[in-house]
A and B are shown apart, each in its own frame.
Chain A
Amino acid sequence: MKTLMIKLLLALSLFGAVSATASEAHTVAAHSVPAVQEKAYESHSVGHMLVNFAKSTGVYAILNPDPNELSSVGKPMNDFHKGWGRVIMILIAFLLFYLAIAKGFEPLLLLPIGFGGLLANIPVANIAGAHGFLGVIYQMGLANEFFPIVIFMGVGAMTDFGPLLSNPKTALLGGAAQFGIFGTLVGAVALTQYTDMVDFTLKQASAISIIGGADGPTSIYIATKLAPELLGAIAVASYSYMALVPIIQPPIMKALTNDKERKIKMTTLRHVSRMEKLIFPVMVLVLAILVLPDSTPLIGAFAFGNFLKESGVVERLSDTLQNALINITTIFLGLGVGSKLAADQFLVGDTLAILALGLIAFSVGTAAGVLMAKLMNLFPGHKINPLIGSAGVSAVPMAARVSNKVGMEYDRSNMLLMHAMGPNVAGVIGSAVAAGVMISIFA
């Protein structure tokens, strides 16, 4: 009898201990992830279920925003951003579709960005949140600046430095065009200092002004590093203006040149040997290592892609960089950037200022390139047609094509395309160096 009692007691205490630890574990789990706490299923009438369903629809969520809903970065949002702001953003996504499909504006990026923006603004589903797939894409490759680097490898594998190697001094035009970046930086901080319209920090102003480099991946790289909260607006501005190069640049180019300058014929480019092309990417990288190691993530990736291409022995790898890899990354990059088009981050006053400053940055860069070419013509040596100066902004190869087109308007026989490719690819290097300078300042 006594032993039985002891056994019973033991069994009870054991059970108690187990249940105690179990409940402890349960409360711990409930504390860390309250959302996981399961509700017991309750039986409801059909009418009640219909009402509940109606409350979970998108229409209801837009008309009656959930007061407890947090934005994808975990901050409280106002009712406008939860409700009609989302509708406006979805309409903006439709506008991006229209621009990409009907007008042919950089469709490769604007379509994924636009669709990402559409998905990011869906109420209830929280696709751009930490556990939504757009949020996952953003964390996977944008928050750590990985995707822009991969894009840079692909761009490197697609770039031919031949025109630059055969006329090295045109690299200066690619440098002058970076004035667009730093000029706009001064503009952005001046706006902050002397007006009440905007309030940008130095980091934010730097991230915005890099739009003037007209280089999408560099803009995204710098924006995620210095001002991730402005990424959506900066990326959209950057790619929109790259698409608008043929509209923005020609009036500036024509205003700054006279008829005689526009008809300057440049000497034919000399042949560049394979050895020179092979040494070039390594040489650029060595220079970057010596002068500005902060620029080597971008320049290193670029040199890697170009080296694979020029080596001529890894056709398959170079082909993958130029096609498969850059395409896959473009999809993810676009969607990830689109996730930053959520109403609470895009529908703010700063966005308009960013669009305006980006346009100024772009125009100033174009003008600086043209003026640099005119300056270089004051010195002895082969004359440079100032129309290729505008190609110093790095939008490859669009800016070079624009130089060629404007040149042909004045002289049908004047082919400037290859001459303009020199400053164009130098512009890519120039904006990567400018980005490196910004990183080194804030490091």
Chain B
Amino acid sequence: MNRWIEKQRHLIDFTANSLARRKARSLGLLVVYTLLVFVLASVSLYTHALRNEATRVLAGTPEIVLQRLIAGRHDLIPPGYMDSVGRLRGVQKIEGRLWGYYYDSVMKANYTFMVPTDRTVADGEIIVGPALERSRGLAAGNGISFRSYSGELHTFIITEVLPHESELVSADLVLMSEADFRRFFTYPEGQYTDIALWVANPREVRNVGLKLMEKLPDSRPILREEVLRTYASIFDWREGMMLALLSAAILAFGIFAWEKAAGLSAEEKREIGILKAIGWETGDVIAMKFWEGLLISLLAFLLGYVAAYIHVFHGNFALLQPVLKGWAVLYPSFSLTPKIDGLQVATLFLFTVLPYTAATLVPIWSAATTDPDTVMRG
């Protein structure tokens, strides 16, 4: 065993020296390889952590949200609608939600205006989300004016800013009293945006959804399960533009690595010829090249992955964030909780380390099994 280890160490010595002789080429390959692993790992770590965080925090969302549709568009819940929903068997609690969007032409940003049910906000006062505080430079005690859709200017005093730690869900929120909300949007009295409802038996949620559809054909129930599924599938890492763009990079790297690994240079062929002429066995030559492929790809994987981890969980995904932000002016600033999927890391490992190592072996096999004289003459 010791003899075997010593032999492998000598082979690694030889490989390291051989790589050092071709310093620029080897370093270039390592850098490109590391960068590719870095980008792939960054995307996969970020999306996995975001998916996890979203499904975790949204676990408390209402069991069913009931919307009313008219001609395929979301419409207001008329008075009386709530009563017919409330009379359904299995419905435990029912609440009308009041919320809507407001486009702020000063910031060119969309806010979500909402009437909270868990607290009372006094008329003329609002509670704002952290992104609003940051982008408009607001603080508790400040006043802010919004021009309503009827053209009037409404002034509100900010009494509180929602906690930064919850920014992922509350970045653009503006909480106000029901009277203010109805006045601001000239929202008809007794009408609601949609209905949140809770079901006594969690296993009955689907049945209640079905009953709602039967009783109110113009309604669209959205189950909590659907909300969670939406966020479980968002940014599926095999889909989306970022990976479509990346596929070009992966392909380019594939060609580069194949060219480097599969096509032996005249110098390498000569080296193999000489090694065989001085008594190296075919197995030794292959083992030496195997070490070369493995060391480069393993080092690239480790460095790329560690850099990606730091980028995503300590650097806030800074390099790729512009792609995610899109046209949104208000963007939550949040640090994700690291949630690493072992299978994902293993997949990344298999897809980056194995193909390259295997690609180095194929041409070596054919070169190493031929006569040294033929190999040296090219």
Tell me, yes or no, whether A binds B. no
* Interfacial residues, chain A to chain B (CB-CB below 8 A): none
